[in-house]
């Protein structure tokens, strides 16, 4: 099951995202790579596992999957409310557990897409909200690494999908791709 739909953002939320989160003043933290997954030989020349910048809203708890990750940012509640509103508007139930959440900022690379991966080893859902308009879609893959679905990175749209191999396309030179990610259990 998957869903892609508009996120209803208020004018105040839009102002905060546009004027602060996407500004030069927001706190970003460099991450050395995007995933621990090793790409299989059949796609290795098409993918990149690059550094990126993130702002962890909540930290993942790998050992206790029945508990939500520790809130790590003063902006967690702001984005959690948007996430809950989208779930409710799209007939999803409130999550039992939020495993992790973050805002991720990626840039250009000359490869087709990032390394396809799962965010967790256990059953989970992914929710990705796009904060800017860019030609760098989220891709879903089958177990043989064939692309089975593509979500366009349209500003203030979000997708939700059950545990599926996924990756993102890279944006053009001098562009960034900014997303909010929540992983959760229904």
Q: pLDDT tens track of the chain, all 186 residues?
A: 799 999 999 999 999 999 999 999 999 998 877 777 778 888 888 888 888 899 999 987 665 556 677 888 999 999 999 999 999 999 999 999 999 999 999 999 999 999 999 998 889 999 999 999 999 999 999 999 999 999 999 999 999 999 999 999 999 999 999 999 999 998
Q: What is the pLDDT of residue 52?
A: 83
Q: What is the pLDDT of residue 100?
A: 93
Q: What is the pLDDT of residue 31?
A: 85
- The DSSP-derived string for 92-155 is PPPPSEEEEEEEEEE-B-SSSEEPPB-S-SSS-EEEEEESS--S--EEEE-TT--EEEEE---T
How many whole angstroms separate alpha carbon 52 and alpha carbon 29? 8
- Return the closest-CA partner of residue 166 out of 131, 134, 133, 127: 127
What's the whole-model pTM score?
Answer: 0.93
Cβ contacts of 134 within 8 Å, gap of 6 or more = 153, 171, 172, 175, 176, 177
Residues 99 and 184 sit within 8 Å (Cβ to Cβ): yes
Domains and CATH numbers, the chain: 2-22+50-185 (2.60.120.620)
How many whole angstroms separate alpha carbon 80 and alpha carbon 6? 16
């Amino acid at each position: 099951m998957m869903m892609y739909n508009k996120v209803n953002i208020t004018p105040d939320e839009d102002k905060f995202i546009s004027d602060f989160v996407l500004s030069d003043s927001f706190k970003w933290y460099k991450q050395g790579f995007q995933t621990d997954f090793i790409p299989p030989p059949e796609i290795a020349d098409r993918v990149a596992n690059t550094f990126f910048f993130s702002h962890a809203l909540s930290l993942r708890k790998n050992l206790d999957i029945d508990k939500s990750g520790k809130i790590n940012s003063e902006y967690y509640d702001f984005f959690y409310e948007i996430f809950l509103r989208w779930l409710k508007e799209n007939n999803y139930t409130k999550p039992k557990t939020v495993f992790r959440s973050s805002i991720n900022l990626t840039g250009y690379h000359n490869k087709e897409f990032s390394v396809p991966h799962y965010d967790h080893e256990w059953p989970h859902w992914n929710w990705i909200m796009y904060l800017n308009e860019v030609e760098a879609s989220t891709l879903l893959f089958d177990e043989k690494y064939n692309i089975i679905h593509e979500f366009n990175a349209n500003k203030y749209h979000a997708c939700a999908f059950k545990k599926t191999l996924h990756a993102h396309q890279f944006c053009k030179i001098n562009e960034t791709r900014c997303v909010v990610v929540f992983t959760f259990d229904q």
